[in-house]
Structure 1
């Protein structure tokens, strides 16, 4: 079960990254060119929100199922750069990224004009994208 979830988490991440990139660049492009906000933009930002939340839930299940703390103390984990990245930095960064996506989505719904809606998505999703790109375990991604 754990290996299935781990594989799902790994491959679902490609979908999440793809959706964040597409939604971000769409919002940035439409903001810069002063295009109108459309139903397609709403669906795109909503789908990004949904897939990122699902991915976060899978990741949290994996984090709790891995039981890192029975094998090592927190001090030992923090001294080991790879373990620190996997156990602390990656989960915290991804939780923040999903929170930013959620905030951007919520804020954009409250705006009344196309420019403001798209700007909210562009800002928050861009910051989330930077966080995701910064904390993806690239060695694991390229080896699998």
Structure 2
């Protein structure tokens, strides 16, 4: 197993940890927001671990990007949907999702009311998760064509 294959498997497997953390965090935030529950240290840590897992996934993805044999910028890169997806679209959209996650986490830390904290996490993390899922679905479609 070479370095590219190892990092590819790591990136592919770690996404499930990120997904589980995000679904749990989003559910916890929506329940806290809609039920008017207090925002405690468990909520803060869950939000933080979800954000850290997303940042870790980004770092693994960056390493994978530079190890990948698909990343070859030439005249055909943007013409081939699979190569374009892996060299541009995937990374840019995941970076946008990560920015939303980071903004949501940062904004929630500055808020005082528990409902506002839960609401901010719920909205920003959900929007980021929708972008992630949409980008992955678009990638599957471009690969299958």
TM-score using structure 2 length = 0.87
Q: Secondary structure at the match of 1:13?
A: helix
Q: State how far apart, in whole Å, the 1-side matches of 2:119 and 2:79 are.
A: 40
Quote the offset at 1:69 in angstroms.
4.6
Say whether the 8 Å CA contact 2:7–2:60 is kept in structure 1.
yes
Match of 2:132 in 1: 132
- Which consecutive segments of 4 or more residues in structure 1 shift more than 6 A? none
Tell me, in whole angstroms, the C-alpha distance in 1 between the residues paired with 2:31 and 2:76: 45
Aligned to 2:48: 46
1:21 to 23, 38, 41: 23
Aligned-pair Cα RMSD in Å: 1.6
Which 5+ residue runs of structure 2 have no aligned equivalent? 141-145
Q: For structure 1, list consecutive stretches of 5 or more residues without a partner in the other structure.
A: 140-144
Report how many aligned residue pairs link the two structures: 137
* Larger helix percent: 1
TM-score between the two structures when normalised by the length of structure 1: 0.88
Contact preservation (8 Å) 2:93, 2:135: yes
